[in-house]
Every structure is written in structure tokens, then in C-alpha cells.
């Protein structure tokens, strides 16, 4: 039998000189400072509420906080970069002042990324994987920031209209190989990169479930995998639950992702998902010990 997916890649993620160990999975807490995000839109537009939420998620066990000021839900409208910065900056500055954990910025715009990195952020979570802004790669390379390369078919405005793949897992893998090469070409080191299959981004239910079911194939590409399943519509498509009732569906998907080797779980419900993650991880470790992996 081969080694488990967990053992096949270097487990360190480097972001602006900081080494974030990923030998075990960690949680990335989601903070949306937007009026229109699909699950928490409007709740953290006030900077004080946003900073309070970030601190609460850190208390609950988040190893990273991902702050976004532009919703990417299906059909969402793009936000002007001045507005994105206006929403982000006070929150990023204050969260960075209060904590030492790395702050990630969910943006596709290089200018927004640069301003946020100057304010103390350490990671850029680019859902376009360096494709929407030709200067994003230079900003990440020049600052040594960590980078999430996420797969998406199409753009948020139209991505759910007719997602189509021959073999979704193979195509996402090929996309990662191509985007890692694009990152390398502008001077971004492999240790700066996390790979994310982009659950819900230009994918129907069967595409999303296939990617989760075959996640170990993505972990074999040499970089840690980040997965964002939290409260997403595919859970409603299976369970018929509205957005406020997707905690258990999220827990099931997080459990599978951890078991299949995901190292960063992007979630809204940090405290609850910490229990899920630690429980699954304990079982996984027992399996490895029994098989002589540890």
C-alpha cells in the first residue's frame, strides 16, 4: 500500500518570512466585511464588529483569518477597488495590531493586495489564481506573501450558469499544474503556495462531490490543499437546508476533507469545526500508527 496523502508533501507554508506548520490540519476563519456575502453579509460591515468576530474566531482556534471585502457568491457584482480597500483597511490594521496569527486577504486585485499587505496581512487568497489581475503575481513575489491558488471555471457573475467538465478532478489537477508554473515564472516559491479546488466556483453538485471524494489526488501535487465547504449551496442541494441550517452538512464535508488530506479548512463556524477536525485527526493518526506510518 502507498503512503497516505498526508505524508506526500512538504507540510510548511511560508508567508512573509513566517513558517506556518501544516503537519496537522488547521482552520482558517472566514470574515466577510461585505453587505452581500451569502451567509454573513452585512453582519461585519462595522469595523468594530468585524474585529470582534476575528478575535472570537482566534479564541475558538483559528490559525489564520481570511478577510474578504468582495463577495464571490454566484451572481455577485464586482466591487470597486477603492470601496474594497475602504472596507478592508481599518479591519486589517486593527486585527494585525491585536494578533500575531497570519491574516489572509480574499481579493483578486493587486492594488488591494498591496495595501492590505502593507497594513500587515501575510497571505493573499486569490480566487482567480493570478488570472484576473496581471500584477498580482508580482505583488506576491515581491512581498513573499503566502498565496492561495483557487480553481474556478468562469467568473462569479456567471460561473454557475452551465459549469461543464469532462473529468473534473483531472481538469482541476491540470489547472493547478499550470497555475503553479505561472506562479513560479514570476518568482513565487512553491513553499508560498496552497492549492484550493474551489468548491462551488463554476461547479455543479456532482462536480463538488467528486472533488471532495477524490481530494487525495489533489494532495499528491506537492502542496498543501485548502478546502472551503462552509455553509455552501451544495449542502442545500443534498440536504435541502437553508444557509442557517448547514452546520452538520458542513461538519460532514469538513470531516471528509480532513480524512482525505486537506490541511487548511476555510470555515465560518470555527469552534464547532475545531471539534470535527480534531476528532477526525485523532482517528486518522490512529490509522497511521496502526499501519506503521508514524
Say which of 87, 179, 203, 232 is annotated catalytic. 232
Rounded least distance, CB 196 to ligand HH2, Å: 4
3-state secondary structure of 262: coil
- In this complex, which beta carbon is closest to ligand HH2, that of residue 78 or of residue 285? 78
Q: DSSP states of 11-60 as a string?
A: -EEEETTEEEE-SS-EEEEEEE-SS--TTTTTTS-SHHHHHHHHHHHHHH
User: Least distance to ligand HH2 from the beta carbon of 56, Å?
Assistant: 16
DSSP state of 163: -
Q: Is 266 known to be catalytic?
A: yes
How far apart are alpha carbons 17 and 22 in whole angstroms? 15
Question: Does 73 help bind ligand HH2 (rule: CB under 6 A)?
Answer: yes
Residue closer to ligand HH2, measured from CB, 127 or 280: 127
Q: Could you say whether residue 160 binds ligand HH2 (CB under 6 A)?
A: no
Burial 208-247 (b: 16+ CB within 10 A, else e): bbbbbebbbbbbebebbbbbbbbbbbbbbeeeeeeeeebb
Asked whether 66 and 266 are in contact (CB, 8 A), the reply is yes
For residues 9, 255, 283 and 226, what is the CA-based torsion angle, rounded to 10 degrees? 20
- Binding status of residue 269 toward ligand HH2 by CB under 6 A: no
* 32 touches ligand HH2 (CB under 6 A): yes
Q: What are the grid coordinates assigned to 245, written together?
A: 441550517
Distance from the Cα of residue 273 to its chain's centroid: 15
> Which residue, 34 or 143, is less far from ligand HH2 as judged by CB?
34
Go through the chain and tell me how many residues it has. 294
Could you give the maximum distance between any two Cα atoms of the chain, in Å? 55
Instruction: Tell the smallest beta-carbon distance from residue 106 to ligand HH2 (Å).
Output: 5
Nearest approach, Cβ of residue 176 and ligand HH2 (Å): 13
Name the residue nearer to ligand HH2 (CB basis): 127 or 255: 127
Rounded distance between C-alpha atoms, residue 212 and residue 214, angstroms: 5
Nearer to ligand HH2, 4 or 247 (CB): 247
**CA proximity to 34, closest of 67, 75, 82, 74:** 67
Residue 53 annotated among the catalytic residues of the structure = no
Site string for ligand HH2, 90-109 (x = CB under 6 A): ----------------x---
Asked whether position 39 contacts ligand HH2 by CB under 6 A, the answer is: yes
Interaction residues for ligand HH2, span 52-71 (CB under 6 A): 68, 71
Q: Name which position in 27, 58, 72, 109 contacts ligand HH2 (CB under 6 A).
A: 72
Total of residues contacting ligand HH2 (CB under 6 A): 21
For ligand HH2, which residue of 20, 30, 85, 117 counts as binding (CB under 6 A)?
30
**Binding to ligand HH2 (CB under 6 A): which residues in 180-209?**
196, 198-199
Closer to ligand HH2 by Cβ: residue 73 or 289? 73
What are the cell numbers at 96? 494585525
- For ligand HH2, the binding residues (CB under 6 A) are 30, 32, 34, 37-39, 68, 71-73, 106, 125, 127, 148, 150, 196, 198-199, 226, 228, 266
Q: Which residues are catalytic?
A: 232, 266
Amino acid at each position: 500500500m502507498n503512503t497516505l496523502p498526508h505524508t506526500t508533501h512538504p507540510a510548511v507554508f511560508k508567508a512573509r518570512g513566517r513558517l506556518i506548520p501544516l503537519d496537522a490540519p488547521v482552520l482558517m476563519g472566514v470574515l466577510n466585511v461585505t453587505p452581500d456575502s451569502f451567509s454573513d453579509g452585512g453582519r461585519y460591515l462595522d469595523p468594530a464588529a468585524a474585529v470582534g468576530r476575528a478575535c472570537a474566531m482566534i479564541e475558538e482556534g483559528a490559525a489564520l483569518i481570511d478577510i474578504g471585502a468582495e463577495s464571490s457568491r454566484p451572481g455577485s457584482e464586482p466591487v470597486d477597488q477603492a470601496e474594497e480597500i475602504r472596507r478592508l483597511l481599518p479591519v486589517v490594521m486593527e486585527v494585525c495590531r491585536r494578533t500575531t496569527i497570519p491574516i489572509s486577504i480574499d481579493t483578486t486585485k493587486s492594488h488591494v493586495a498591496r495595501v492590505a499587505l502593507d497594513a500587515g496581512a501575510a497571505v493573499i487568497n486569490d480566487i482567480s489564481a493570478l488570472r484576473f489581475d496581471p500584477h498580482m503575481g508580482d505583488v506576491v513575489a515581491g512581498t513573499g506573501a503566502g498565496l492561495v491558488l483557487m480553481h474556478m471555471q468562469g467568473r462569479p457573475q456567471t460561473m454557475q450558469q452551465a459549469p461543464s467538465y469532462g473529468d473534473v478532478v483531472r481538469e482541476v489537477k491540470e489547472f493547478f499544474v499550470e497555475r503553479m508554473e505561472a506562479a513560479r515564472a514570476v518568482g513565487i516559491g512553491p513553499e508560498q503556495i496552497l492549492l484550493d479546488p474551489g468548491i462551488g466556483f463554476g461547479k455543479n453538485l456532482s462536480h463538488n462531490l467528486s472533488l471532495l471524494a477524490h481530494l487525495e489526488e489533489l494532495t499528491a501535487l506537492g502542496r498543501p490543499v485548502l478546502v472551503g465547504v462552509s455553509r455552501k449551496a451544495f449542502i442545500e442541494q443534498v440536504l435541502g437546508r437553508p444557509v442557517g441550517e448547514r452546520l452538520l452538512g458542513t461538519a460532514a464535508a469538513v470531516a471528509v476533507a480532513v480524512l482525505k488530506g486537506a490541511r487548511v479548512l476555510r470555515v465560518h463556524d470555527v469552534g464547532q469545526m475545531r471539534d470535527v477536525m480534531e476528532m477526525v485527526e485523532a482517528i486518522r493518526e490512529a490509522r497511521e500508527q496502526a499501519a506503521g506510518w508514524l
